[in-house]
Amino acid sequence: MGVGGRPLVFFLTLLFCITANASHCSTNGLPLVRNISELPQDNYGRPGLSHITVTGSILHGMKEVEVWLQTFAPGSHTPIHRHSCEEVFVVLKGSGTLYLASSSHSKYPGQPLELPIFSNSTFHIPVNDAHQVWNTNKHEDLQVLVIISRPPVKVFVYEDWFMPHTAAKLKFPFYWDEQCYQTPATKDEL
């Protein structure tokens, strides 16, 4: 490469340094308009799940809301869990079952209500109500758009519906926030 190539090498090196600072854990260099199909997608060690943080607190600096696009393969589901934020689901395709605790404010969640969910349905989860979403459809993926308040979410996970609230395990930061979260977890009360 001759002398004329040096400005090109310098420019490419500078461009690499600038884009390296715009990692998926940084809001530096993020465009305002993004293509969902180009956003990072992972199952975070949970077979049958595809999770995309469309916009979030840790990844994008959001303070009041976070939006996820999640796809569940037939038979896959969330753990039984609760969190101290409001949560709204919009079912984009497929069908399944929402399990919602019948007594979230007792000593344990109790036998859950079983509510069918289906394409174009929506539902919300009140703050600290234990719940679980299952793709009970054997032939089709369940895809949902999820909106949560007060991110990043602190999740308490249950082994079953009769596990006492005090025994639920805190998972914070949650799977999709682990790589970027920098501050130690604090306990969130029921």
Maximum pairwise Cα distance, the chain: 76
Cβ–Cβ under 8 Å, residues 64 and 150: yes
Distance of alpha carbon 124 from alpha carbon 146, whole angstroms: 9
How far apart are the C-alpha atoms of 14 and 1, rounded to whole Å?
18
The answer on whether 24 is annotated among ligand-binding residues is no
**Which residue in this structure is represented by tokens 């914070």?**
172
Cα–Cα distance, 23 to 59 (Å, whole number):
9
Would you say 86 is a known binding-site residue? no
Residue 139 annotated as part of some ligand binding site = no
Nearest to 174 by CA among 108, 47, 79: 79
DSSP code of residue 168: P
The answer to the question of whether 83 is labelled as a binding residue is yes
Question: Residue with structure tokens 């009360």?
Answer: 189
Q: Which residue has the tokens 């959001």?
A: 62
Euclidean distance between CA atoms 100 and 111, whole angstroms: 9
Known binding-site residues equal 81, 83, 87, 131
Known binding-site residues for Zn(2+) equal 81, 83, 87, 131
